[in-house]
Chain A
Amino acid sequence: MRLSRWATFGPALLLMLVLGVLPLANLFYTSFHTVTWAAGKATFTPAGIGNYLALPADPLLRAGFFNTIVFAVGAVGGQMVLGFGLALLCSRVTRGRVLYRAVFILPILIPGIVIGAIWKLMLNFDFGLVNQITDLVGMDPRNWLGDRQTALASVIAVDIWHWTPFCFLLLLAGLESLPQDPYEAAKIDGASWWQELRYITLPLMAPAILVTFAFRLVIAFKVFDEIYLLTGGGPVTATEVLSFTLFQRLFTEDREGYGSAMAVAIIFLCSLLLVVAVSVGRRSERAA
């Protein structure tokens, strides 16, 4: 019996180890080395924890860490509020569901490169549509992607535009599956719209909100294409994010050892943040 269990579980475990653990182990091993190429061969020179010790002094990484947190919190916060608001509004719509869902889902379906092109044109200083509109109301043109004050906010706005439908769809599914009994009881008790939202909808929706938030937070931490296409991390380091820094250090600069150490640190950070976010969410769910 035990043998047959291992016979079925063993290959699955082996496959998981090969596909999941081995690449991570290799990354971890490389992070303790300096890799150089000479005479057509790679040389791994042990570097101890030198690569890890160099991380805090990296100006791009420091900026990337700060900006990634601002980006993730700003973008996901905006998406959750907007997505939930839209879901609340649409949950009462009974006609034309297919149409509005198709329209709302559109930004998620657009490839990242196209989103980059759309918003690069929209936010262009000289002829962008946004500046043409602000010009109509008498505002001076702004270099949305090139000004330190507006660059990160602009990328966050693009990300909100891109991913709000994702939050909307998940939260709408959650709203539509809520039991109706508590609402009927609240109506009999004369509860206001706000009281329904505060004391029934939000507590019942907490698990769906938490899952959506966690999903989006993980994806927001991995942001790369929008930064790469819209700002390249600039101006200066205004939109530098962790994934972009890693791309530069490991791929462009070809620093495998240092880049691996950075990758390990980012994985650790992301995991830590996710655990914190989920545990805070669960605690507030229990409290509610």
Chain B
Amino acid sequence: MTSKRITRRQTVAGMTAAAGALGLPMIGAAQGKVSPITIVVNQSPWFDSFRKTVEAYEKESGNKVELDVNPFAGSLEKQRNSVRAAKGQYDVLIMNSGWFAEMYFGGFVEALSDIDPGFKLDKDIFTLNDTVYFDPVKKTMTPSGKLMSMPISPLIPVLYYRGDLYKQTGLKAPDTFAELEDNAKKLNKPPRMYGIVQRGARGPATVSFDFYPYLYGFGGSLFKDQAAGDYTVTLNSELGRTALDYYIRLAKEAGHPKTAAMDQADLIQNMVTGKTAHVMMVISAWSQMDDPNKSAVVGKVDFAPTPHAPGHSTAPGLGHWLGGVARNVPDERKRGAVEFLRWYQTKAAQMVTAEAGGIPVSAAIYREPLAQEPRFRWMKAIAESLPHAVSTMNFPEASEVIPILELGLNQAIAGETNSVAALNSMADQIHAVMAKYKYNTGVLPKLK
């Protein structure tokens, strides 16, 4: 006698189908069977949570998802090779803030609303400075454009600080840059303990990413108004100088003696070994702080939005990841990709992400009781910061601008040039790039 067993996947698929037939909302609301899809994604600290979320989707929907996991640079190369071919290998592209504009402008991803006119972004999903939208005519990213992608991981920097030392010394979490400077100086006892460790090294997007919260937090900017298509370079404004002078002063008076050589790994290392009181670092490193195998400061690190100048709001630069659907794949796979993204934005899916250590893209999760748990004490800072997050470069030539910032900022921090000369030089070079590609651009008079 043979017994016919029903698998868990079949049960879930059956329940989904039944719920769909009855018009009932299912947990996660995964739709019916669709074509298998392939997602190209990078191996980042948040990848494990993404993988678990994808597994939950497969389990719930019965649909197949293949992940092609790569290092950061390798992921970009694979995406470029795929989208530039006649037939793409990847259905969903997990695009970084450094290259999603290249995919939008180049016409390599198809608007989600064009694949499925009924597709709507959930009201709780953070639009991350509206970078999920794109107007192909105006070449701008505003809600008046088409919905091009779904936020996958909303990475931004936050302030990590030693809550235990704050309690001992009676300090309160800094809101402004002046408060951060005061607190960092008070806790600065080098070489045993640095007041702050900043990420001042030159790299692919290293010191520039570290500098954005300072630049925008002081009210400065790289460009006048990207959303309106005005790419006048404003980096060398008085506000830009204030921000860079502050950054350098903080490094000199309360920072690591080798700030110009510090990369993200150094920041993490200094924090988990208890050698710094503050770092401003991307949120995806939070789990390492509480990992007893890696950290000497388990439970001692607290989180706050990056500080700002009075009259301005916190302004972390976006280093986020977006999921877009490749244009050069068959229609049925595009539909499969959209079904996955439709499910990904649900509260249930985002809860899986959060529980697995990822950073949710839905505001709904940050309102849940889970956000109050000590292990998720970073969530409050993220929820407060995300509405103010800044997408610094919404154009495909960003990859030519970033090296200019990396070199110029690193030179200023290393003391090879002063802040005024560095800002003027960077502004001129960025202006030359924007003019070369015929953007509506200009440059401010030179700082003196």
Contacts and interface: CB of A to CB of B under 8 A. Distances in A.
Interface of A: 37-40, 42, 59-60, 125-127, 141, 143, 145-148, 232-237, 248, 251-255
A236 B191 CA distance: 24
Contact of B73 (A125, A148, A235, A252): A252
A202 to B, nearest CB: 42
B107 A38 contact: yes
Interface residues of B, number: 36
A59 B204 contact: no
Nearest to A34: B436
Nearest to B433: A253
A254 B407 contact: no
Nearest to B201: A234
Contacts of B275: 126
Output the residue of A60, A236, A252 with the most chain B CB within 10 A: A236
Contact of A255 (B83, B108, B400, B410): B400
B77 A251 contact: yes
Given A40-B83, A236-B410, A237-B407, A146 B261 contact: yes
B399 A234 contact: no
B403 interface: yes
B202 A37 contact: no
Given A234-B203, A234-B261, A148 B399 contact: no
A143 B260 CA distance: 11
A60 B403 contact: yes
26 contacts: A38-B106, A39-B106, A40-B83, A40-B328, A59-B407, A143-B258, A145-B261, A146-B260, A146-B261, A146-B262, A148-B414, A148-B416, A232-B203, A232-B206, A233-B202, A234-B203, A234-B260, A234-B410, A235-B201, A235-B260, A235-B410, A235-B414, A236-B202, A237-B407, A251-B73, A254-B399
A125 B73 CA distance: 27
A143 B107 contact: no
Contact of B106 (A37, A143, A248): A37
Task: Tell me the interface secondary structure of chain A in the complex.
Answer: loop
B107 A39 contact: yes
A283 B269 CA distance: 54
A251 B98 CA distance: 13
Contacts of A59: 407
A258 to B, nearest CB: 10
B202 A235 contact: yes
Contacts of B257: 143
B80 interface: yes
Contact of B201 (A146, A237, A252): A146
Interface in B259-290: 260-263, 269-270, 273, 275
A253 B410 contact: no
B411 interface: yes
B414 A126 contact: no
Contact of B399 (A37, A40, A253): A253
Contacts of B203: 232, 234
A251 B77 CA distance: 8
B327 interface: yes
Interface string B171-213: 0000000000000000000010000000001111010000000
Interface string B397-437: 00110010001001100101000000000000000000000
Contact of A126 (B263, B270, B411): B270
Secondary structure at the B interface, as helix, strand, loop or mixed, is: loop
Contacts of A37: 84, 102, 106, 108
A40 B329 CA distance: 12
Contacts of B77: 251
Contacts of B47: none
B166 interface: no
B106 A40 contact: yes
A241 B406 CA distance: 16
Contacts of A38: 105-107
A40 B108 contact: yes
Interface-central residue, A40, A60, A145, by most chain B CB under 10 Å: A40
B215 to A, nearest CB: 20
Given A42-B84, A235-B201, A236-B416, A143 B273 contact: no
B410 to A, nearest CB: 5
Contacts of B258: 125, 143, 146-147
Interface centre among B77, B262, B270, B407 (most CB of A within 10 A): B407
Given A126-B275, A143-B261, A235-B414, A252 B84 contact: no
Contacts of B270: 126
Contact of B269 (A126, A232, A234): A126
Given A40-B327, A42-B84, 20 more contacts: A37-B84, A37-B106, A38-B107, A40-B83, A125-B258, A126-B270, A126-B273, A127-B273, A143-B258, A143-B261, A145-B261, A146-B261, A148-B416, A232-B204, A234-B202, A235-B260, A235-B261, A248-B403, A254-B80, A255-B400
Given A42-B84, A126-B269, A236-B414, A147 B102 contact: no
Select the residue from A126, A143, A234, A248 with max chain B CB neighbours within 10 A.
Answer: A234
B227 to A, nearest CB: 22
A145 B328 CA distance: 44
A233 B102 CA distance: 25
Contacts of A148: 414, 416
A234 B407 CA distance: 9
Contacts of A143: 257-258, 261
A255 B398 CA distance: 12
Interface in B9-53: none
Closest 9 CB pairs of A and B: A146-B261, A234-B202, A39-B107, A143-B258, A253-B399, A37-B106, A146-B258, A232-B203, A253-B400
A232 B202 contact: yes
Contacts of A39: 106-107
Nearest to A141: B191
Interface string B102-124: 10011110000000000000000
Contacts of B328: 40
Contacts of A125: 258, 261
* Residue with the greatest number of chain A CB neighbours at <10 A, chosen from B77, B257, B260, B411: B260
Interface string B81-109: 00110000000000000000010011110
B183 to A, nearest CB: 22
B192 to A, nearest CB: 11
Contacts of B273: 126-127
Given A126-B273, A145-B261, A146-B258, A232 B403 contact: no
